[in-house]
Amino acid sequence: MRKLTDILEERISAAMGAVIGKNAPALVRPAADAKFGDYQANGMMAAAKQVKTNPRQLAENVVAAMEIADICEPPEVAGPGFINLRLKDSFLAERLLGIYRDAERLGVDKAETPKIVVVDYSAPNIAKQMHVGHLRSTIIGDCIARLYDFAGHTVIRQNHIGDWGTQFGMLIAYMKAQYPHLLDHPASAQIADLEAFYQNAKQLSDDNESFAKQARQEVVQLHNHYPETMAIWKQIVDQSRQHYQPIYESLNITLTADDERGESFYADQLADVVAELKVKGLAVESDGAVCVFPEGFKNKDGQPLPFIIQKSDGAFLYATTDLAALRFRVQDLKAETVIYVTDARQALHFQMLFAAAKMAGWVDERITLEHVTFGTMLGADGKPFKTRTGGTVKLKDLLDEAVERAKAVVEEKNPDLPAEQKAQIARAVGVGAVKYADYANNRNSDYVFSFDRMLSLDGNTAPYMQYAYARIKSIQRKAAGKEVDIQNELNGLSALLLTEPAEKDLAKLLVRYDQAIAAATEEYRPNYLTSYLYDLAQAFSRFYTACPVLTAQAPHRPTRLLLCDLTARTIRHGLSELLGIEVLDQM
RNA sequence: GUCCCCGUAGCUCAACGGAUAGAGCGUUGGCCUCCGGAGCCAAAGGUUAGAGGUUCGAAUCCUCUCGGGGACGCCA
C-alpha cells in the first residue's frame, strides 16, 4: 500500500500547482496535536510567500481545488494557513482491512529502487571479550541492516573484525606455548577465558625478551602466510568466535560467520592500495610516512592534515585497511550505499577516508557513504560506563545481570509459571530491555545506562511493550473459552464499526506504521521506531481500558478483534523483526 | 588553537523548519462486581544554556559567548 503521507502530499501538491501555476511542496506531516486533525499540510505559508499572496486565501483556494474526499473529511484551514486533515472512518476502515490482508508486510511498501547496501557494524577484537563499547555499534547496526532488508534492499552485512596486526605475534607465540600439541590435535585447544589469554600473552611479551622476539618472528611469518603460523592464527580466530557468536545469539543479532570480513581479508591488498594512490599522485611521503592530504582538513597548526596510510617503518594502518575495504565494497561487492556504524569519535577518520576514496576515483556521486555515529554510554555518575573498580564492563556480564534482574521481577509477578518459562521470559525481558533502552535514545546523545529504568514496567521500555503484546495474546487465548471464534469473525470482514475515540486513535496509529519505518530508515534513527511503538502500545492500553473486546456487542466485536490482531502484529513486527527483541505470549 | 557532538521540566529523555515544546520517572489526587492494575485518568512542573541573526514561522538553520564531552602524524 502506498504511504498515506505520500498520497496526501501528491494530491495537495497537485492542487497547489493548479492554483498557483507552479510546483510547490504541500509538506504533509502527522498533525502536531490531535485537535488539529490527523495530518496537516504546512506548505501553504511558504508557497504564498513565494507568489506573494495571502496564505490563508491560498489555503482556501487549494482546499477548493483538491480532490481528497475519498480519504478525508472536508479539510479545514487554520492558523496562518495550515490545512488540517481528518481521515474518514470509511477510509480508515478500508486501510485497516488492507493491512490485515497483507500479513507479510502489514501494508508497508518496499523501496522503489532497491539498492545494494553494505552495513559495517559490530567489529569486535579477536582475542578480547566483547565489552559495552561494542554494544551500540552492534545493535544499532543490526537494526539498520534489518530496516534496509525489510525495505527490499540487498543488504550485505560486514563484520570488520580485528583479526590482524602485530598483537597476533604474541597471541600465536602464547598459543604455541599453551597448546604444544595444537597442530596435531587442533580440537584440543579451548580458550576458556579470552581476556586472561590476552592478558597473559601480553604480560609474557612485556616481561620476557626471548618470548617477545619469538612473537615478532610470528608476525613476520603470519604476514608471509607460513602454513603453521596461519593454522594457529586460524585457531585463535575460531576460538574467539566461540566467545562472541553466543553473545550475538543472545542479543538476537543477525550477524553470522559468513558476514565476517576482517582486517586479515584485506592484508594482501594494502600494498596495492598505497601503490595505486601513489601512481595517481595522491599519496606522498611526509616525515617518512606515506600520506594522502585530502582538501579542507587542517591540523592544529593550520597545516594540511595527513591521512597516513603507511608508517615510516613500512607498516600499514587502519586507514589503509579501511581504504582497501571501501574499494572492495564498491568494486567487488558493487555497493551503492556503504553505512559505517561506529562511535562519533571516529568522525574525522571517516570524513578523511571518504574524501580520500573520492579523490582516488573509487567513489563517485552515485554512491552514498554514511558514517552513522552514536554517543557514549554513561554510568549513573555521568562518566563513561565502567565497573565499580574502573574496569571495562564485559557485555556478557551486563546481559547476565539484566536477565538476573528481570528474573527477579518475573518471580515476583508470576511465581506460578513453570521454571523454564520463567527463565525464557527473563531472557527476553532482560536482553530486550538493554537493547530497547539503547534504541529509544537519539543515537547521537550520550545516554545514562540504568538497569532500574530500562527494566521499569512503566514508560517507554521493553517490558511495557512486551506487556502490551502479552495482554493482547491473553485476550486471544481467552476467546476460545468464551466461545468467540476469532478467525470466523475476521474472515470475510468487509466493514468496520469505529465508534469510540479510543478505537479511532488506535486505528489512526496502526495506519502510520509505514511512515514511522520510513523515518527511522531514512535517518538511521531507531528511536523513531521505538517512539511510534510506544505511542501504539499506549493507544492500545487506553483502548483496552475503554473498550471491552470479548464481551462487546456483536457489531463492535469483529472491529475490536481486528484492532487487537493488527496491534499485536505491528508490535511483534517492530520489536521482533526490526529491533530483534523477542515478544512473549505470556510474561 | 582548529574541528565535531551535546546543553530542553527536579531526574532520564523525545520533538523528520510549523500552531499552546511532549513522554516516563518522581510528586499530588482519582479509577478494580468486567478480557492480565506490569494498567488507565488527571494535576503541578519550561525564558529549549545565553546573546544576536535568517525566516511568514526557530529547540531545530547561521554567527558569537558560556558549559560538558570528543577528535586533531605514524593506535584502532
Rounded Cα distance, A98 and A107, in Å: 7
- Roughly what angle, to the nearest 10 degrees, separates helices A194-207 and A209-223? 110
Longest dimension (CA), chain A: 88
Rounded Cα distance, A93 and A384, in Å: 49
User: Which architecture characterizes domain A462-578 according to CATH?
Assistant: Orthogonal Bundle (1.10)
Rounded Cα distance, A496 and A563, in Å: 10
Nucleotide nearest to A307 (CA to C1'): B73
Residue nearest to nucleotide B2 (CA to C1'): A300
Q: What is the pLDDT along chain A (587 residues), one digit of tens a residue?
A: 999 999 999 999 999 999 999 899 999 999 988 889 999 999 999 999 999 999 999 999 999 999 999 999 999 999 999 999 999 999 999 999 999 999 899 999 999 999 999 999 999 999 889 999 999 999 999 999 999 999 999 999 999 999 998 889 999 999 999 888 888 887 777 888 898 999 999 999 999 999 999 999 999 999 999 999 999 999 999 999 999 999 999 999 999 999 999 999 999 999 999 999 999 999 999 999 999 999 889 888 888 999 999 999 999 999 999 999 999 999 999 999 999 999 999 999 999 999 999 999 999 999 999 999 999 898 888 888 888 888 889 999 999 999 999 999 998 888 889 999 999 999 999 999 999 999 999 898 888 899 988 998 888 999 999 999 999 999 999 998 888 899 999 988 888 999 999 999 999 999 999 999 999 999 999 999 999 999 999 999 999 999 999 999 888 999 999 999 999 999 999 999 999 999 999 98
Nucleotide nearest to A167 (CA to C1'): B75
Where do the domains of chain A lie?
4-87, 167-261, 462-578
Residue nearest to nucleotide B70 (CA to C1'): A345
- Contact status, residue A142 vs residue A253, Cβ threshold 8 Å: yes
**CA–C1' A483–B30 (A):** 36
**CA–C1' A463–B40 (A):** 17
- Global ipTM: 0.94
- Contact status, residue A135 vs residue A377, Cβ threshold 8 Å: yes
**CA–C1' A518–B58 (A):** 25
Rounded Cα distance, A202 and A211, in Å: 10
**DSSP-assigned states of every residue in A71-114:** TBSPPEEETTTEEEE-B-HHHHHHHHHHHHH-TTTTTPPPPSS-
CATH number listed for the domain at residues A4-87: 3.30.1360.70
**CA–C1' A538–B42 (A):** 16
Name, in order, each residue with C-beta under 8 angstroms of A578's C-beta and a sequence gap of 6 or more. A143, A146, A147, A150, A517, A520, A529
Within 10 angstroms of residue A65's Cβ, the number of other Cβ atoms is: 14
The alpha carbons of chain A give a radius of gyration, in whole angstroms, of: 28
In three-state secondary structure terms, A394 is: strand
Please state, in angstroms and as integers, the Cα–Cα distance from residue A196 to each residue in A17, A93, A171, A229, following that order: 69, 61, 11, 21
Rounded Cα distance, A459 and A493, in Å: 35
**CA–C1' A88–B51 (A):** 48
In three-state secondary structure terms, A443 is: coil
Nucleotide nearest to A470 (CA to C1'): B36
**CA–C1' A108–B44 (A):** 41
- Contact status, residue A39 vs residue A28, Cβ threshold 8 Å: yes
Report, in ranges, which bases of strand B sit under 7 Å from a protein C-beta.
1-7, 12-20, 22-26, 34-41, 55-57, 69-76
Nucleotide nearest to A384 (CA to C1'): B69
Residue nearest to nucleotide B72 (CA to C1'): A299
**CA–C1' A136–B26 (A):** 28
